[in-house]
Amino acid sequence: MVYERALLGDLTSVLKDWNGGTGVVAAKDSIHIIRQVGRALAFMHDLDVVHRDIKPANILVLSIEGTRMEVQVADLGLGARCATDESRHVQESYWSVDNERVIPGAGTLDFMAPESLEMNVSRSGLFLQIAEDEEIESDEETETPAFDAGGFLLYPKKLDAWSLGILWLLLLDGLNPMRKQCNDENDHTEVQDLIVACGSDSASFYTQYSEQYADKDEGTGILTLIWELLQPGPEERATVAHVMYKEEMV
């Protein structure tokens, strides 16, 4: 198997030195990046595959011309295939412990959708991969409205939509929006609680989001698209393909 070589590394590495070290990407340039990532995700979703770990470290930078980056999506290590039944269900059985099914929230904490953290598990403990590629454990069990009685996600492709929205805000601001909201950005439990809270209080989340990022739009209209990707409820959240067809993305 032959892969295209990305000599510039991943997006995390590039952003460290971007724009004077702030990591802030101009709105129009962010559209170019998100368009490429979004189209790759839409292609995967058409094949009933979900990525589940969209983040800068999993986006390779092929070239940079001026302030425009050419990128590719990489690392489907946490990818999963959806059932063919309306492409809505995916069984969360990526890990198995002693042949007993465990239903984990797969992904990197900072980019995980609220419904990923609101699930019951068949064993005590929910393991979440965080940004530093460590693991944390939570014994808390909550109701899982995004899951059916059989332990299947109802809207698996919407996980990637949320991650894409978080990535977009990170590009515009240089900081992960979830870490930015926390009193202690190194407190992973606080980050986890904040993400879960987003799913239960959409009005408060939208108010904070709209106020903090109002100046990042630069007349492009993209904040409306980002909010469509970051609807706390997966049923209301836009699909990646839906956003890619918007006028602002063409």
219 CA to centre of own chain: 24
The pLDDT assigned to 83 comes to 58
The pLDDT assigned to 217 comes to 87
At 114, list the tokens.
């609220």
Cβ atoms of 191 and 178 within 8 Å: the answer is yes
| pTM over the 0.85 mark | no
**Distance of alpha carbon 69 from alpha carbon 132, whole angstroms:** 25
The pLDDT assigned to 104 comes to 39
The pLDDT assigned to 187 comes to 78
Closest CA to 225 of 202, 208, 241, 204: 241
- Could you list the mean pLDDT of each consecutive 10-residue stretch along the chain, which spans 250 residues? 83 97 96 98 92 95 97 90 52 33 61 76 33 41 48 78 95 89 78 77 68 86 92 90 91
Beta bridge partners of 54: none
The pLDDT assigned to 29 comes to 97
Torsion 55-56-57-59 (CA) sign = positive
Element (H, E) at 27: helix 27-46
